[in-house]
Amino acid sequence: MQIKNNKYEAVIGLEVHAQLLTETKAFCGCSTKFGNAPNSNVCPVCLGHPGVLPVLNKKVVEFTVLMGLATNCTINKHSIFARKNYFYPDLPKGYQISQYEEPICENGFINIKTTDGMNKKIRIKRIHMEEDAGKSIHDQSEYTLVDVNRCGVPLIEIVTEPDINSPEEAYQYLTKIKQIVQYLGICDGNMEEGSLRCDANVSVRLKGEKKLGVKTEIKNMNSFRNVERALYYEIERQTDLMEYGEEIIQQTLLWNADLNEAFPMRSKEEAHDYRYFPDPDLLPVIVDEEWKNEIAARMPELPEARFNRFIEQYKLPEYDSEILTQSKELADYYEKVVKLTTDFKAASNWIMTDVLGFLNEKKIEVKQFPVTAENLGKLINLISNGTISSKIAKEVFQIMLETNDEPEKIVKEQNLVQISDEGEIIKIIYNVLEKNKNQIEEFLSGKDKVLGFFVGQVMKETKGKANPQLVNQLLKSELEKYRK
Ligand code: ADP
Ligand code: ZN
Ligand code: MG
């Protein structure tokens, strides 16, 4: 898609909330487990009863620092928690513990690939820690129900500078963030389930203009594609307003994915509406050099490093490496496969076409894929050592998808071993030639492609089990004999 009026430029800043994968909540010992009975994961602290005292979960700090380091942020030695005050039925405390002034991480960046294949730096203004609110459920009965299990579940908020200039770049940025949190193991990155959420701020200005335009903020998008669509919608709307010289009003919009339209939710609230103030119940968070280094030492391999390593170690094309390292699970799966086979490129091809094809078709994740990496590795070996042809391998793979039996067992049981015995193949060739005299004449008169017909016949006779190279070679020499 292209923004229709190229006099204008879009300016986008994203605020991403990521739910941290801690066992317990940010300021109490309640479980963060999803799917428990409504209002069962609660205690006086996360319900905000009077007189209780929150205690910060150390893991929350460590996960946030990991993310800060992975995105090139400065880790502030001193940061503080603030209360963000507002009333909402799913927020029994009447305020959310967040960070406002003095967040824990600031001034980072990540690189994304733009549509023309260039690297672009997206600056990260800040990453701060905060707690989640509960959930209002509107569609279960004639009443709105409130489940406060999520109150106090730890989040980080990652805020970019307004460096993003198109919906595609926003999509790329989100993909990268998801990839990083998954590699770090600090968030499952699932946007459909709400563990990754994105609010998009967008304005439009004349190209070359330095001043930022009036922005709107779009909320309620539950997939990266919806963020992209919502941005297209809003950029078009603002561009039209600019063209007609009409005013753009600063407001918050809600995306409606069914209608493909955004609707005003409220006029934008300002920071002062929240009456932020330092939370008197929580001490400043101090991350000294020692602790920071300790956390840094636990940094796992990040997507970019793994991408480069795959090219280096397995001699893969950039294209393959990009796809294989897209998610940590897929990259792990690939590395398990190549533990069993040295056919690195074949392993990559199988994963990129057959494995990903199946995952996309069934809309499932790598972890739900029925064929173990070990069995795929063994299957690839059966091809490279000549036991089966690659065509038969596809059949075996289909059976593996259903049974996840060992490929050797399937090959044996179904009698699929490749026929590489010359004598046996020659016999079949004689048979085929005998039955197709006319085609021999055609071949001799110069129609080379008749060879393909003969190969096909032999393969048919052997139910695809004959070694195709051998069939080709033997057929050619047999046919040549007719020339004399
Ligand atoms: P607010 O006070 O409205 O929350 P912030 O300054 O905190 O605004 O910025 C929130 C997000 O909006 C950031 O990602 C920032 O980069 C982005 N942003 C700020 N101003 C603009 C603008 N004029 N156009 C587009 N994005 C903007
Ligand atoms: Zn609690
Ligand atoms: Mg803000």
Instruction: Report pLDDT for 1.
Output: 53
13 lines ligand 1 (CB under 6 A): yes
152 lines ligand 1 (CB under 6 A): no
* Rounded Cα gap, residues 286 and 102, in angstroms: 12
pLDDT in tens, the chain (484 residues): 555 668 999 999 999 999 999 999 999 999 999 889 999 999 999 999 999 999 999 999 999 999 999 999 999 999 999 999 999 999 999 999 999 999 999 999 999 988 888 999 999 999 999 999 999 988 878 889 999 999 999 999 999 999 999 999 999 999 999 999 999 999 999 888 889 999 999 999 999 999 999 999 999 898 999 999 999 999 999 999 999 999 999 999 999 999 999 999 877 667 678 999 999 999 999 999 999 999 999 999 999 999 999 999 999 999 999 999 999 999 999 999 999 999 999 999 999 999 999 999 998 889 899 999 999 999 999 999 889 988 899 999 999 999 989 999 999 888 888 888 888 888 888 888 889 888 888 888 888 888 889 888 888 888 888 888 888 888 888 888 887 7
Closest atom of ligand 1 relative to the 163 alpha carbon: 16
444 lines ligand 1 (CB under 6 A): no
Please answer whether residues 219 and 236 qualify as being in contact, where contact means their C-beta atoms are separated by less than 8 angstroms. no
Closest atom of ligand 1 relative to the 162 alpha carbon: 16
215 lines ligand 1 (CB under 6 A): yes
* Rounded Cα gap, residues 114 and 176, in angstroms: 12
203 lines ligand 1 (CB under 6 A): yes
Instruction: Report pLDDT for 70.
Output: 97
Closest atom of ligand 1 relative to the 212 alpha carbon: 23
419 lines ligand 1 (CB under 6 A): no
| Ligand 1 pocket test target in 122, 127, 173, 215 with most atoms within 8 Å of CB | 215
Domain boundaries, the chain: 8-294, 303-413, 422-481
161 lines ligand 1 (CB under 6 A): yes
202 lines ligand 1 (CB under 6 A): yes
Look up the CATH number of domain 422-481.
1.10.10.410
Say what the pTM is: 0.84
**Token digits of residue 225:** 């594609």
108 lines ligand 1 (CB under 6 A): no
Count the neighbouring beta carbons within 10 Å of the beta carbon of residue 207: 8
The Cα-based distances of 194 to 67, 151, 198, 221 in angstroms read 19, 14, 9, 10
Closest atom of ligand 1 relative to the 15 alpha carbon: 14
**Token digits of residue 100:** 């406002």
53 lines ligand 1 (CB under 6 A): no
Instruction: Report pLDDT for 2.
Output: 55
Instruction: Report pLDDT for 482.
Output: 84
Residue nearest to atom 24 of ligand 1 (CA): 203
Task: Report how far ligand 1's centroid is from the alpha carbon of 150 (Å).
Answer: 27
Please answer whether residues 71 and 109 qualify as being in contact, where contact means their C-beta atoms are separated by less than 8 angstroms. yes
| CA of 92, nearest ligand number | 2
| Ligand 1 pocket test target in 201, 204, 274 with most atoms within 8 Å of CB | 201
Angle between helices 328-340 and 303-314 (to 10 degrees): 20
